[in-house]
Chains A and B, each alone.
Chain A
Amino acid sequence: MIRWSCRATRRLLESHHDGELPMEARASIQNHLRQCPSCSGERHRLRQVGVELRAAVSDHAAG
């Protein structure tokens, strides 16, 4: 498995988050995320955008 730097991880983090990367790259990024609190925090913030946006849309639809 290739060892990923933070820079490489950040570049592909959004595609990874969206499930758009091939299996090998996905595994390498997951490995990096397990070891890097900074990148894993970035991933968490990316995830929160989707979570909060869906909640906002749902609230708006409910009135």
Chain B
Amino acid sequence: MPSPKLSTTFEQGGTPTGAPTKITQGSKTKGGIGESTLRPDGTLKVTGEFAYSSDMWHEDMLWGQILRSTVAHAEIVSIDTSEALAMPGVYAVLTYDDLPTEVRHYGLEIRDTPVLAHGKVRHHGEPVALVAADHPETARRAAAKIKVEYKELPVVTDEASALAPDAVLVHENRTDHHIGHVPHPNIVHRQPIVRGDVAEARRRADVIVEGEYFFGMQDQAFLGPESGLAVPEEDGGVHLYIATQWLHSDLRQMAPVLGLPEDKVRMTLAGVGGAFGGREDLSMQIHACLLALRTGKPVKIVYNRFESFFGHVHRHPAKLYYEHGATKDGKLTHMKCRIVLDGGAYASASPAVVGNASSLSAGPYVIDNVDIEAYALYTNNPPCGAMRGFGAVQACFAYEAQMDKLAKKLGMDPVEFRRLNAMEQGTLMPTGQVVDSPAPVAELLRRVKAMPLPPERQWESSEGPDVRQLPGGLSNTTHGEGVVRGIGYAVGIKNVGFSEGFDDYSTAKVRMEVINGEPVATVHTAMAEVGQGGVTVHAQIARTELGVAQVTIHPADTQVGSAGSTSASRQTYVTGGAVKNACELVREKVLQIGRRKFGSYHPAWATAELLLEGGKVVTDGGEVLADLVDVLEDEAVEVEEEWRHRPTEPFDLRTGQGNGHVQYSFAAHRAVVEVDTELGLVKVIELACAQDVGKALNPLSVVGQIQGGTTQGLGIAVMEEIVVDPKTAKVKNPSFTDYLIPTILDTPTIPVDVLELADEHAPYGLRGVGEAPTLSSTPAVLAAIRNATGLELARTPVRPEHLTGTA
């Protein structure tokens, strides 16, 4: 029997420029889960037709511009917009006073962020006023004519200035649900975790190592800047085409500020140029809608790269203080740590970051006795929130450095030491939660160590040294002088999904009908496709569950229930789970129809386990009972259903105990670096990774996620850092000239070894993939640099100054 022709029809949100673009992509294979089917949006993306949020265009549209604060902490004495308003081509200038309702703040968890500054600005680059004009240059010129008088206030920039008894308070009158348990109003949230008897265990320890670590502020640096188009609608509402990670979370925060019921704020996902956590918070959503509603015209806002650095939250910088003990035979006795995260001026995802940092601070190890404390500060630094691996990334950098120190002190091989203490299924977390699915930490380390090492001195050639393969690259700084190779290992643990009792659900609407004589499934979710490949996976799941070749992916919008956020490695698990669940319900309905129509013709309709395969209803023995075309005829079957993973519970605020996480994911890295020890320049030669993914729904995408996550970890190891002036709290490098992310010449080969040990609690046994590789990559590179140089290196990123004693 010829295999069915497969295709995925990918529809993009109806762009104001024209009809929805549709494209079909097929494969010779059956195209279900486990296969590397290709992206349904691939053709659109390689031809330039895929409509990203910044590509939106509407006749008569205006351009929005945001005026941002030039200082970090100040009272706003006055704002004069008259000159700007008087400019030809300017349609509106808005400040706090123009906001339409009494709800004037928003926030993911704590509504502490003003839509426009009122009376005060709390960080450099805070939005103060909005302009809409007929050309971006007119809007810029008008914004420049708004006169804002600031009276500067002292800045809070670190733990000392935040927690001093007479500290300036970043937020004076907090009423949020964390204020009751934090020791200082400049602490957003604090989570201690205690377990076992640290004092007793400490006495048993033969060796103790301490460390104080610093993790720099990283930017998501997605390539597609924040942007969107707000179109006013005839019913007084507004339609926003937007790049985001979570449409419904945006909607929930936007509607009250706009003074509109949620059904009058329609949202359609426009093409998203990467996210990595940086689109979890609102950026220009409310601003564009306010301007559109005020002017009655469509308004487009596109940040440039400079503004993007101010327009989204960053990864929390952190100070981490650790103490570990071990017996002389290499068993960990205890761990104490204090993790101080700088949350900046507004809360964003800080509470969740604190939860992750504390609960995952012990790493993937068996440590029975712990005393843990993590908290996030309010400061006048740029707000920090979600970024790939949040909370867990900072901790992993520190505990892995500690593991190397311990191994060294014990005279043990660093990998063997880790393997000796590696957690496994059944291990208790510091929170008391049992790790109840495979945790192949020792195996991942074994595998990554067993990979062949890249040859030495690959830069040598018959024509002399190839500088492209040496530290410094094209800059021609060494021809081999001072170059020393180093190897380092690390492993990490990340939670998957939203934790601590959050109702983490997703919704899928699946429809099945016959079109042009073929059964077709349509999958409609509000999942934000940010590049991760969720749209590919949804089509695969529908094929597997419904046995169809043709799948249409409906544009993501708010006409269907929430899909939750594209973050926390959760979408394949949760929205994938919702699609699977909805498909199963559709299948059941289809079988009911089949039984009704054909049940009397064959006993198997009543007795056997029935499946949908190849467009037919078949028994589990493979006998064909009916064609889906005949079962459905002109009937359409549609199901919209929410789906939840197992519930989690909050951590106890004093002891940190609780089943807070739904799933854990693990990755290990081996880094091979070559360091020009005289100039302090680093070339990462190879970053090998082994990761357990439970089940690779799309192996090509899984490997792509691991390689991408690995590279972001490399960036924070050797180059990426937002530098904030400690005196003024102003950002010093908001550009791609001075905030450097890895180029293709900085990125090594990344061999990946994928394990598939099923988690029986998860759909198909899958495990979230996206974040774990970002954890262990950074400490592995740091370990390799330490191995090459013999230096301690307690901060990341490592700069040439730190390797040459010239900091």
Q: A and B: real partners?
A: no
Chain A residues in contact with chain B, CB under 8 A? none
Chain B residues in contact with chain A, CB under 8 A? none
